[in-house]
Structure 1
């Protein structure tokens, strides 16, 4: 039953197709096995088309993740490009419980075309089978491997951007914090697309988006409970798992943060950008009126989606051309 707290309206163009996007407002644990199956052959077909469209070479590597376990990374390199290139280190979305390293590549593909950027995407392990700190530590381990092997990969180590959407945005933020605190790879920028940052379920936006839209309050609690278990909402949660808990956001790379006005993550994303500014850092924040979670990927033809995509790509262009 929808929450009685009034939610902001959806953009009319987005709302018109909301019922057809194939994503229920609330994800439950019982749905996980089916959603994890995906559509047979879709991933393979997508990768083949992705490589052909952007004229890429694919290289798969096994690297050492958290606890010394093997995890996979895939590197996509533009063909025929000499010298070192900027790189996008990609952490996929999926609420910490879904997805693989090929989810979300379409969102970063314009940067391949515009800048001949190399993409490194990591197969971090998912909750609840692999709870915190597995996901963020896997991401950091793969980032460290990328920086250590930058010359071999053709990457300019001074121009590595970390990027992710939803849970991937939260993991990108957490990995950037780890890189800062461990004096690890120096990131050039972070692109946090509708990032999942706060486990505490205490904002107005999480109360508003309950039983409506995409990835509502119930879905979000499922994701966080899967990741953190009984620790969710307590003091026993690190800033790397839930970056919204960080009180010191100084010393971070420039950040691009975007979110919709009608999604659970709105308030935590706004607060995160604000704390970067309070620390004297660099952030660009966009809150798109009427946007539900992941609207620009689910309904890319909508006017607000086109504006959101253009703003994000423009920020990356300015960063890499600067």
Structure 2
């Protein structure tokens, strides 16, 4: 293969991710031409409605997948946290890259951390997971929906629509935007458990051995172990972005630690669970942890969470 085409969204973060993969592949395979094919997804067009109400994160991948199935592109680069658990026939998850900082972060022009936010502060996020965990520790906060790309969200913060906004640290670091705001404060995983797959890139590919061989150089063994645990947990719970779930696995040498949280979007009812194991347990530990919360009533709690998320409150 002499030419590889990457289907990508047109946002600055999506383009950064695709350009990064392009550069790494061209470095690993001298003589290979890598081209970007930029397109807009439904998720990029509908910016005034929470994702939970319009179909979830798959809205950011569908058009890219259709282009790949038509033979117009070979791969698509996604934030792994936005990649659905199931793939259309003919496509597969080919690569999971090394993770950036997995933590969420608070950005603000006025306040340096969550503790400094005054009573009734307005915080922007569209994530039900972040909303749940914020309201768990600070039920006084006013949480408002925040859609748009990273730059748009920062602009809304700077224009005074919010006292603070919550974004993934990884996106801010990749785009070099920390200096755009007065305070950029990563939030400890003890306070806010990240989303499944957060900070890793997932490269979706056409099911073709040659394409898989070319992109496989970008795989990271620790990231694969961690995110497979997280995605297994989500799969058992059948949880998409319509329900608030946080799960994070961390490899430390030969051990692996997994922490999870789920509950109602308003933070009024929360379930947490954790588990330690060895690296060799990675194919089972996510499912085992999920079964522990299922046995405690997680499925019923998530059904209530979905109804709440689809109500007019959020």
State the TM-score, normalizing by the size of structure 1. 0.31
Bigger Rg, which one: 2
